[in-house]
Structure 1
Amino acid sequence: MPLSVIARRRQGCVEIDRLHHEFVTWHADIQLPQYTTQLDALSGEITTCTIRLRSALENVSALSSGAAYGQCSRLERQIAWLWRAWEYFRAKFDQRQDDRYADTLHATDEVVWSCYRPFFRQPLGELVPDPAPLPYIEMEYSPVAVRSDQTAVLGERPNRQELLELAFKKLPMPILKLPISAVSNPWVIALAGHEIGHFVQPMISPNPFDFVGAFRRVIEQAAADSEWGKWSVEIFADWYSILTMGQWALHPIAQFGTGEMAANTLRGGVYPSLLVRLELMAALADDYGFPGTAALESLAVDRPAPGGSPQYDKDRKAVAAVAQAIVAMDECRTIAKRIGPRPENFVRGGLADQWALHIRNGSPEPVSQKPDSARLVAAGSVQAWDQAVFAAAQLPSTSQFDQLGSRARRAMQAARMPGVRSSSARPASKPGDVLFEFLEGV
């Protein structure tokens, strides 16, 4: 059978036409107003690339069939990578149509927005300058925030994989990996308060590194220990979680992090030891009027005897000074004012407590659909699980456990904040340039 340049070229055109048709149909069907910015950015990249690749295939020409086949092979590799790029994001959006994950993700969407939106000064009817991160379910143990300027997002393949990661950092496409445990245990969604802190911190100063660096220096100076600096990014996220979830921010951290005594006092790579981390969170909560110390004591995490862990003893002595330094920073004062932590919502009879009662026994829902409503439901979910599961004399039955989850997810969705959900952010380059620049290097 002789080689046919026309047939070879046609083969590639059929494939790129199929990709284009499937993407356009998918994009037309999906209805997620909160993520319009991300969807439009993705659409601009994918559709422009399909048009460019088809044009390149139609114009394949060479003196020999071998050279023409080589051009077609290169373009078909680019098509395959374009499929992979779209599939990476399609899977995350499509989870909202999967019965296994839909309720959890719709609930998380509201909690994320409730933690994220108040950071911006704009009225609720105006677009925010940066899009909210897209939560999705990952087979992970704990949540992970991946900003749009971070690169380790698409798996483990080296070289070309890294190039694709670099390409995507130019799109307004931040994502939040939610652990699979959140499906059965919606209290895990409260960890969104911490993860959103990772997205907020680089937006505080025009140059993302200015505030990040300043915050690190404040931590190091307050602790009189440069080792504290490498924990500063996670400390900021913990601080933000206190603003959004009050004292209930401590409980999920303890649930995911507690181990044997030696592990609880061991310094980590990007975190202080678990005990120091919880003590700092408790001190920050106390500074804002939340019962942080009481929450920490209720967790009853094992502590070493005095002198039993010199490094832990040294680190915990710095906790009060670090907490005070954070609260005193001008930028942190401004953010705290925007978020509006209200300790009265976290005491007995407060809104978080009322949500916990609703989740536990179906009592009437409190006033909702305010900027802080969904995150108050998330905090109330942690409280409900603490009371009905972790501290219960008798564990709930499977049906009772499922009822807790159903009420929590419904309440988070019902707490939806009014206002527009999209963003004014746009990629810096023209549509198609981000991905096509990558594809040219494949």
Structure 2
Amino acid sequence: MHPERVRARLDRSATTALRLGHEIGGWMRRGHDDRRLHRFTGHLDVLDGVLSRMLGAVVREIEAIDPRAASGEAYRRCGELDGAVFTIRRLFDWYAAKYDQRRDPVLAGILACADEVVLSCWRQPFEDLGREPPTGPLAYVEPRFDAFATPRVSVPPDLRLPADSLVAEFVGRLPVPVVCLPEWTAVQAWWLTLAAHEVGHHVHKDLDPGLENASRDALAEATGDERWRRWALESFADAYSVLMLGPAAAWIVEELGHGPPESLTRAHGGYPPLPVRLALMAEVARQAGLGGAGAPGLAGAAGALLGLRAGGRTLVELSGLSPGWFAERGTVRAQARSLAGSDPFLPRLAEPYSARLLLAAAATVVDAGPAAPSALHANLLRHLPRCGPPGRLGVSPAGPPVARLAEELTGRLLGSTR
């Protein structure tokens, strides 16, 4: 084959890669300038650093192909590197679509609320330890029945097809955790309560590297039942959600899990049976000073979770919990009474805990019985984005430095083409 045709083939591959680089660079610049993404500048820096390094390595590989070599080999190598560019494209698109939801008129309002709730639940324990929180979770909405968290080293449910296996591997390695919320949050904002449990998974992973194993050991020892090792991660997230939201956390679990009696006695996934989950959450609430009858049979399990330590402090201490917030005359009850009206008076929304308490108040309204759901939703859309002090969802990633991670992923990407 004439060398000019080989050069044209090389140029096609190089042009495709360079065009993607320009697209990613332009999107990143717009993201940094967009007020709606101001919480995520740390995320964007991580993604830009990794994607740019990977794409640059692919371009250098294309440029290294000798157009005078055997044309079949040149074409074969170009095809392999085109596949690498597609992997980078798929990885970029997977993340960009989730940030871009904040530019969607239908979803922008609820995600502005979600960002404040996630931030409120995320940074509390890190700041109580005097640490800068690592890059925190990115919330997004998807047509799903439930919510889920994708921490680092997890595979997102929408990336489990064989064609996406390498993309899923990279998503699992990148220090940009995500929280998926069901689409009905866009019309019923109080379902953002689900975020507290999902953020709890990320806190569990990133607050202390030994915390997950410590949870398994503590629960198994406290209960004498090895099944709690399987249930430890979800039980930690349940306990964390109680410390963030009070009784509202249990209400949402019961609402999602409610079903025929015979279905409630089975454990599924990493969860204990629903009655056990609810009883554990009730006992966590009682031991944390939030009142209620609790569940004495699960005192050991609840105590094991609340007694977990990071930086020498217990989970309760790191949660920033004040039981008075949930008392009869406390902040949550007062806000619930106000939120039920058409023009609520909601002072003191600038505290780090304000978003989660306001959300707990909304769930209290719904749990209490008939209300005006459209008014409640509108009130949350109006007031949740006003909550909390200024801040970002972390500026430095958990895990290895970005440059080292980018080098590792680039090696994995190029290795997959040979």
Q: Closer, same or farther in 2 for the Cα pair 1:351/1:248, shift >3 Å?
A: same
Report whether the alignment pairs 1:113 with 2:127: no
Report whether the alignment pairs 1:19 with 2:20: yes
Q: Distance in 1 between matches of 2:360 and 2:19?
A: 46
1:366 aligned residue (347, 354, 367): 347
Do the aligned partners of 2:286 and 2:292 also contact (CA within 8 Å) in 1?
yes
Q: Distance in 2 between matches of 1:76 and 1:162?
A: 17
Deviations 1:334-381 (A, max 9, x none): 231122211211123322123323322122112111010010011012
Q: Which residue of 2 aligns with 1:38?
A: 43
Do the aligned partners of 1:246 and 1:341 also contact (CA within 8 Å) in 2?
no
Q: Which residue of 2 aligns with 1:230?
A: 230
Q: Closer, same or farther in 2 for the Cα pair 1:255/1:238, shift >3 Å?
A: same
Q: Which residue of 2 aligns with 1:422?
A: 394
Q: Which residue of 2 aligns with 1:342?
A: 322
Name structure 1 gaps, 5 residues minimum: 295-315
Q: CA RMSD in A?
A: 2.4
Deviations 1:47-69 (A, max 9, x none): 22232222322332152222221
For residue 231 of structure 2, what is the amino acid of its counterpart? W
For residue 87 of structure 1, what is the amino acid of its counterpart? D
Q: Which residue of 2 aligns with 1:410?
A: 382
Q: Which residue of 1 aligns with 2:108?
A: 102
Do the aligned partners of 1:127 and 1:423 also contact (CA within 8 Å) in 2?
no
Query: What SS is found at the alignment partner of 1:145?
Result: strand
Q: Which residue of 2 aligns with 1:281?
A: 281
For residue 379 of structure 2, what is the amino acid of its counterpart? R
1:149 aligned residue (148, 153, 163): 153
Q: Closer, same or farther in 2 for the Cα pair 1:354/1:76, shift >3 Å?
A: same
| TM-score calculated relative to the size of structure 1 | 0.85
Q: Distance in 1 between matches of 2:157 and 2:133?
A: 23
Task: Report how many residues are paired.
Answer: 406
Shift of 1:401: 2.9
Q: Which residue of 2 aligns with 1:302?
A: none
Deviations 1:68-88 (A, max 9, x none): 211211111111111111001
| TM-score calculated relative to the size of structure 2 | 0.90
For residue 80 of structure 1, what is the amino acid of its counterpart? F
Q: Closer, same or farther in 2 for the Cα pair 1:108/1:274, shift >3 Å?
A: same
For residue 122 of structure 2, what is the amino acid of its counterpart? Y
Do the aligned partners of 1:198 and 1:237 also contact (CA within 8 Å) in 2?
yes
Do the aligned partners of 2:125 and 2:320 also contact (CA within 8 Å) in 1?
no
Q: Distance in 2 between matches of 1:65 and 1:421?
A: 50
Q: Which residue of 1 aligns with 2:54?
A: 49
Alignment of 1:284-299 (within 5 A): 284-293=284-293
Matched-pair identity in %: 29
Q: Closer, same or farther in 2 for the Cα pair 1:93/1:328, shift >3 Å?
A: closer
Q: Distance in 1 between matches of 2:288 and 2:133?
A: 28
Q: Closer, same or farther in 2 for the Cα pair 1:330/1:232, shift >3 Å?
A: same
Query: What SS is found at the alignment partner of 2:173?
Result: coil
Shift of 1:28: 0.5
Shift of 1:416: 2.8
Q: Distance in 1 between matches of 2:263 and 2:171?
A: 36
Report whether the alignment pairs 1:319 with 2:322: no
Shift of 1:330: 4.5
